[in-house]
Amino acid sequence: MARLPEVRSTNDQSVVFTSSGFVHIAVPVYARGMDLSYTADEQRFRTEVRSFLDANLPAEIRAKVLAGKHVTRDDFVRWNKILYQQGWSTPNWPTEFGGPGWNAAQQHIFEDECADAGAPPLMPFGIRMVAPVIMTFGNRAQQDRFLPRIRSGDHWWCQGYSEPGSGSDLASLRMRAERRGDIYVCNGQKTWTTLAQYADWIFCLVRTATDRRQQQGISFLLIDMKSPGITVRPIITLDGDAEVNEVWFEDVEVPVDNRVGEENQGWTYAKYLLGHERTGNAGVGNCKRWLKALKRIASQQRAGGRPLIDDPRFRDRIAQVEIELMALEVTTMRVIAMELASQKPGPEASILKVQGTEIQQALTELQMLALGPQALPYQPAALDAGYPGPLSGPDYAVPITGRYLNHRKASIYAGSNEIQRNIIAKHMLGL
């Protein structure tokens, strides 16, 4: 196989062809104006984070994450508590609310190192989604009540947005909240509610008025999941898991004090939250870990043949997704820097959502192709720690088919990618 020559440029970037033949682009990713390099302080911060993870990430949790096995609620909470003791459980929060006050590069470095080390992701619904809404639009009593418990991991949150028939067209939601004195009485249904079976609280968009435009009759409520009248029912997804749920509300009483902001102004808060959600859906850290796994799988010697990595067509596909991932990383850094400058994420968040989820789908598809026939005998039970049964293939193959099936939904949740392209076309291209 002919080896392509190494190519170098003069703008602090390099394109290197590895011994396996595929391209790797080394691109410093901290966008500070046109300066994309890390500072010495940021490099020292990376070393600090890496040392902390080496010393404090429980080995059994690390092993589960790196092997693609099921991570339990207790595992998530345990890791959150460890980070909380270090003051790192809310990496995107300002110091005013107990966060570390990290800059864009530090946030990115932290998430990058956590993903590479095999740390469980921090649950985004509290930390990255409802918390910024409470910080920006909530009153002082709500901030004092909810934010410390989110930071400590004492409250697990889920999101009540989508309904049957109201997903991408979220403004058409029908769940009613009728005000009766100091309470709202809520009736309706939410669906595709991720990890609602574990949640202590849910933030919900509810309809509080019907005599005006759809967007002008929605309010934003914080609801205790232990309230009488709430029923959670699992939805089994393609991978055989019960990650998402439908949640029913029957005469659920919610104090008016749990409404964030003004009545009938919830659409404004919902759009603010969606910008943060779509930014988080880029998933750069996980994608980088999956890319490494893809290269390892493709480098395995195939029975009666050569490693798939030696096929120039397959190598081209790996190179393409790696280039796209590098570009996504730079864009993610720019959006984080915007947020830190108090600029609300706009259509840039839609770019991250589209590109991030499509890269995730591409990586899971390439992993399936690299496994070949070993991807066919999918054993969901083998994803549980301590599975005693025999495996029909190598251990590293166990999670890949389920991961592929699960991520077919990635381009749909948080606003389908078709809707995101409409947003980009309208706000960035003027179409």
Alpha-carbon gap, residue 263 to 37, rounded angstroms:
46
Residue 126: per-residue pLDDT = 96
Residue 202: per-residue pLDDT = 98
Question: Residue 6 corresponds to which tokens in the numbers above?
Answer: 């190494």
Domains of the chain: 40-122 (no CATH), 157-266 (2.40.110.10), 281-427 (1.20.140.10)
Q: Say which residue the tokens 């259509």 belong to.
A: 347
Question: Backbone dihedral region of 240: left (phi > 0), alpha (psi from -120 to 50 degrees) or beta?
Answer: left
**pLDDT-flagged residues of the chain (< 70):** 1-37, 276-280, 301, 303-304, 339-340, 342-345, 431
pLDDT digits (tens, 9 = 90+) for 150-206: 999 999 999 999 999 887 788 899 999 999 999 999 999 999 999 999 999 999 999
Beta partners for residue 160, in sequence order = 204
Question: Backbone dihedral region of 372: left (phi > 0), alpha (psi from -120 to 50 degrees) or beta?
Answer: left
Residue 24: per-residue pLDDT = 33
Residue 23: per-residue pLDDT = 33
Long-range Cβ pairs for the range 77-85 (8 Å, 24+): 77/153, 77/156, 79/119, 79/120, 80/122, 80/123, 80/152, 80/153, 81/152, 81/153, 82/56, 82/57, 82/58, 83/122, 84/151, 84/152, 84/153
**Are 20 and 306 a contacting pair, CB within 8 Å?**
no
In this structure, what DSSP letter does residue 391 have? P
Question: Backbone dihedral region of 181: left (phi > 0), alpha (psi from -120 to 50 degrees) or beta?
Answer: left
DSSP 21-78: S-EEEE-----BTTB-PPPHHHHHHHHHHHHHHHHHS-HHHHHHHHHT----HHHHHH
Residue 279: per-residue pLDDT = 67
Q: Say which residue the tokens 């790196």 belong to.
A: 66
Is residue 31 exposed (0-12), middle (13-18) or buried (19+ Cβ within 10 Å)? buried
Long-range Cβ pairs for the range 70-77 (8 Å, 24+): 70/383, 70/384, 70/385, 71/120, 73/156, 73/198, 75/120, 76/120, 76/123, 77/153, 77/156
Backbone phi and psi for residue 123, each to the nearest 5 degrees, phi listed first = -60, 120
DSSP 229-262: TEEEEEE--TTS---EEEEEEEEEEEEGGGEESS
The residue type at 423: I
Active-site positions read 277
Full-model pTM: 0.83
